[in-house]
Structure 1
Amino acid sequence: MRTPRDTRASTCNPVHVSPAGTTAVIPDDDETSSRRRILNATAEVLARSGQTKLSLSEVALQAGVSRPTLYRWFASKTELLDAFGAYEREMFDTGISRATAGLRGTDKLDAALQFIVSYQQTYSGVRLIDIEPEVVIAQLDRILPLMRTRLQRLLSGPNAEIKAATAIRVAISHYVVRSDDAHQFLAQLRHAVGIKQ
């Protein structure tokens, strides 16, 4: 039987993406349930306090676990933030996979774009820019190429790289200056990748 520390390296639990684009993790055993609650609580605490002021005590309280339970999974703030970053990427990737399952070509690409819009507008963790813009801007250097590469996989043709880069820049601009119009956001992403309206 693996210890909680060994489990950290494994993949996270399945994520259910509702038609509205919100995510909910499917429950499983008590051990990984505690870990998952801690990671979900981290999103809520980050949305209030940011990374710099993140308190492990506040995360434990939000998750409804004791501090020793939190420390059993994450020995430090850095460890928690690293795990949370991986968890967020997995939630996003799982959401995209579910949104595009069984689709091909333009339908698959369009479903991915719809998921991006919905994700940015419903997930509380994505508003860290409001609290710590300097932290987010510093991370964009690493995040932009990853996002571009993931979207480019859904594109074809000689301009796939340019289309993916343009769409991701549009998405980032809507993230930095929050979009209040999901239809415009989606229309701009569709235009960037060449999907006819």
Structure 2
Amino acid sequence: MNEPLHDFEDTSTRHRILAATAEVLARSGQTKLSLSEVALQAGVSRPTLYRWFASKGELLDAFGTYERDLFDNGISKATAGLRGTEKLDAALRFIVDYQHSYSGVRLVDIEPEVVIAQLGRIVPVMRARLQRLLSGPNGAVKAATAIRVAISHYIVRSDDDDQFLAQLRHATGIKANG
């Protein structure tokens, strides 16, 4: 009869471990990631961590999915109820805000070679997701250009969010607002 509560606790523990992974990755990078440090950061025992994730590889795979879900859920919330250009613009604003506020994992500063390899796999996925929000001719080119602008701003951190957003809008063909 306690099963739903147990599931909730498990989900909460899993979430804490994944959130702690972000913190540890930001300090140590992927290569030097310590499961002991993740367990300590999450406030769980090592056996608890191993119950959820049997290896470092399994934890990193789950963390990748966790990050994609956070991003996808954020985009969904930012664009809920919107259509057309308003929806696209809301998605672009979310991308800027996400990169600006993202606690994380500036792995590019710690392990650039790991990030470059990951970007090679992520770029096509991000491009396809953004392209779904674009209409008209050249959607694939617009989406690819916007994603490459976003990646450029990630790799070489920009301190000008307005410029970043203006560049994304330009890449996707959204006319400047007033």
Alignment of 1:1-197 (within 5 A): 29-197=8-176
Question: Which has the greater radius of gyration?
Answer: 2
Q: What residue identity is the alignment partner of 2:33? A: L
1:168 CA displacement? 0.3
Q: What residue identity is the alignment partner of 1:183? A: D
Deviations 1:70-118 (A, max 9, x none): 0000010000000000111011001000000000001000000000011
Runs of 4+ in 1 over 6 A off after TM superposition: none
The CA distance in 2 between the partners of 1:139 and 1:59, in whole Å, is 21
The CA distance in 1 between the partners of 2:31 and 2:123, in whole Å, is 22
The CA distance in 2 between the partners of 1:31 and 1:90, in whole Å, is 18
Moved more, 28-37 or 142-151: 28-37
Q: RMSD over aligned Cα, in angstroms? A: 1.4
SS at match of 1:29: helix
1:185 CA displacement? 0.3
- 8 A contact 1:120–1:126 mirrored in 2: no
1:125 CA displacement? 2.4
Q: What residue identity is the alignment partner of 1:159? A: N
Corresponding residue pairs, total? 172
SS at match of 1:155: coil
SS at match of 2:32: coil
Q: What residue identity is the alignment partner of 1:29? A: F
Which stretches in structure 1 are left out of the alignment for 5+ residues? 4-27
The CA distance in 2 between the partners of 1:137 and 1:180, in whole Å, is 22
1:140 CA displacement? 1.2
Q: What residue identity is the alignment partner of 2:86? A: D
Which stretches in structure 2 are left out of the alignment for 5+ residues? none
What is the TM-score normalised by the length of structure 2? 0.94
Determine what percentage of the aligned residue pairs are the same residue.
Answer: 82
SS at match of 2:13: helix
The CA distance in 2 between the partners of 1:126 and 1:188, in whole Å, is 24
1:126 CA displacement? 4.1
